[in-house]
Amino acid sequence: MRVQMQWGGDRRAGQNARRWPLLALVAGALLSLAGAAAAQPDTDFAGHPLQVFLQRNINRAGADRLLFVDTLTGESTPVEVNGRGYTLADRAVLFYDTAAGRVMLARPDGSVTEHPFVQPGPQTRRVDWLLSPDMTHIAWTLTEGPDDSALTTITTVARLDGSDLREGLVDGPRPGIRALPVAFNDDHSVLYMDYQPDSIADITPFQQFAGLFALNLDSGEAAFLPGEPGCFCGAGIGSGLLLRLQLADDLGGFDVGVHHLDSGASDVIPALRLPGYTQGGDVLIAPDGTRAVYALAQVRDFGGPNQSVRTVFVLVNLTARTQTALTSPITTFVQPVAWTEDNTAVIFTSPNQDGTWKVNVNDGRLARIAAATYLGTLG
């Protein structure tokens, strides 16, 4: 069974984090571990807020380390796992265990257990999940089929504790196409989803979307969002907005389509002209709806022995209707994961290397703030 993960939709995991001075402690905490397992606490850090970090490939077996750090005391607990798709879920980290073939929960007390109801079935080829920003609801899809020529997607939604569990959508079979959850609306009555080409999506440097639609969870009705299906390009949903990257008419960059999901009003923000930067995605909208950022990359010899990458962050001013380069080129793939400091700074990480960085929106100043990869804050 081949099970793969998609977790780019859960970007809200640390949007409102404010305790960034603590990150200076994380590098020291990681060094002090030196690969040894620390004593596990008897309690869940007394319910204190926790920041969660990830270290990849900590040993020859390719294991990862989750690090739970108490924001009040600095106490930390490491948990060694073999997984991917790490997603914050209330007071735990949800992930797919690549060795066991199961969906698991790692907790701050050091325990790792199977998720009680989000699990692949005998015919499941892929599991995708999404949590609501308030961590009260979860949606997941099981993609099943004998091969890529006939894929069926089963979408289920529930409260995080497993109550109010219901089937949302059964789609297919479709040749090479699956559906995946992208975002909830504010009252959890609508689940935004996307039709994805199953094979191409796994090799793109940034998360892309092909046909975004809204699923009404009360009526079961589904309808494409404005302008959909579009190009296989980046998008973001949040603060009542759909932001959609779309190729400019002269193919010289990405216009940003701005769609107000409640009123139906739409606008287009002209592209930023950066020659050779042809890969864009990972759109992250600020909680106040005034700004957004996305990653834009120039890739040479993609997948080859001489691959080179240059990535910039693009700042989209949704009030002034402008796009500007926020950073100088960075020589790896990077992805924005959280707005912080009252929407004046952006936290970002890399899928290829450990570390957490922050860029100030006002001056573009870039700083590395942790040696490990920030996953988010558990309240």
137-144 β-sheet, strand order: 5-6, 124-131, 137-144, 151-159, 166-174
Over the stretch 311-327, which tens digit does the pLDDT of each residue have? 889 999 999 999 999 98
Close Cβ partners of 164 (under 8 Å, ≥ 6 residues apart): 157, 158
Is residue 102's pLDDT more than 50? yes
266-269 β-sheet, strand order: 235-238, 241-247, 254-260, 266-269
- At which residue do the structure tokens 């079935």 appear? 121
- Report the pLDDT value the prediction gives residue 255, as an integer from 0 to 100: 94
Close Cβ partners of 335 (under 8 Å, ≥ 6 residues apart): 8, 206, 282, 295, 348, 349, 350, 351
How many angstroms separate the CA atoms of 151 and 194, rounded? 14
Is residue 85's pLDDT more than 60? yes
How many angstroms separate the CA atoms of 149 and 345, rounded? 44
- Report the pLDDT value the prediction gives residue 46, as an integer from 0 to 100: 80
pLDDT band at 34 (very low <50, low <70, confident <90, very high): very low
**What does the mean pLDDT of the chain come to?**
85
Over the stretch 246-300, which tens digit does the pLDDT of each residue have? 988 776 789 999 999 988 899 999 999 888 888 889 999 999 999 999 998 887 7
pLDDT band at 18 (very low <50, low <70, confident <90, very high): very low
pLDDT band at 104 (very low <50, low <70, confident <90, very high): very high
How many angstroms separate the CA atoms of 25 and 109, rounded? 20
pTM, two decimals, is 0.86
**Quick one: tokens of 66?**
């989750």
CA distances from 240 to 159, 162, 184, 190, 296 (A): 22, 27, 10, 12, 24
**Quick one: tokens of 87?**
């997603």
How many angstroms separate the CA atoms of 235 and 222, rounded? 19
Own/partner contacts of 28-32, CB < 8 Å, gap of 24 or more, are: 29/67, 29/69, 29/74, 29/76, 30/55, 30/67, 30/371, 30/372, 31/371
Residue pair 110/40 in contact (Cβ under 8 Å)? The answer is yes
- Report the pLDDT value the prediction gives residue 1, as an integer from 0 to 100: 34
Residue bearing the bigger pLDDT, 329 or 216? 216
Rounded average pLDDT over 80-98 = 94
Over the stretch 166-223, which tens digit does the pLDDT of each residue have? 999 999 999 999 999 999 999 999 999 999 988 776 777 788 999 999 999 999 999 9
Residue pair 290/343 in contact (Cβ under 8 Å)? The answer is yes
Over the stretch 45-77, which tens digit does the pLDDT of each residue have? 888 899 999 999 999 988 999 999 998 888 889
Is residue 365's pLDDT more than 60? yes
How many angstroms separate the CA atoms of 241 and 257, rounded? 10
Residue pair 207/8 in contact (Cβ under 8 Å)? The answer is yes
Residue pair 314/327 in contact (Cβ under 8 Å)? The answer is no
177-184 β-sheet, strand order: 177-184, 190-197, 211-216, 222-224
Is residue 16's pLDDT more than 60? no
- Report the pLDDT value the prediction gives residue 204, as an integer from 0 to 100: 78
Q: What is the percentage of the chain residues whose pLDDT exceeds 90?
A: 61
pLDDT band at 43 (very low <50, low <70, confident <90, very high): low
**Quick one: tokens of 304?**
């080859």
C-alpha closest to that of 225 among 246, 251, 202: 246
Is residue 35's pLDDT more than 80? no
Rounded average pLDDT over 227-232 = 89
- Report the pLDDT value the prediction gives residue 173, as an integer from 0 to 100: 93
- Report the pLDDT value the prediction gives residue 302, as an integer from 0 to 100: 65
pLDDT band at 339 (very low <50, low <70, confident <90, very high): very high
- Report the pLDDT value the prediction gives residue 201, as an integer from 0 to 100: 67
C-alpha closest to that of 315 among 279, 362, 356, 268: 362
- Report the pLDDT value the prediction gives residue 32, as an integer from 0 to 100: 42
Is residue 152's pLDDT more than 50? yes
- At which residue do the structure tokens 């949606």 appear? 139
- Report the pLDDT value the prediction gives residue 217, as an integer from 0 to 100: 95
Residue 286 half-sphere exposure toward CB, CA atoms < 13 A? 19
Residue bearing the bigger pLDDT, 255 or 330? 255
pLDDT band at 11 (very low <50, low <70, confident <90, very high): very low
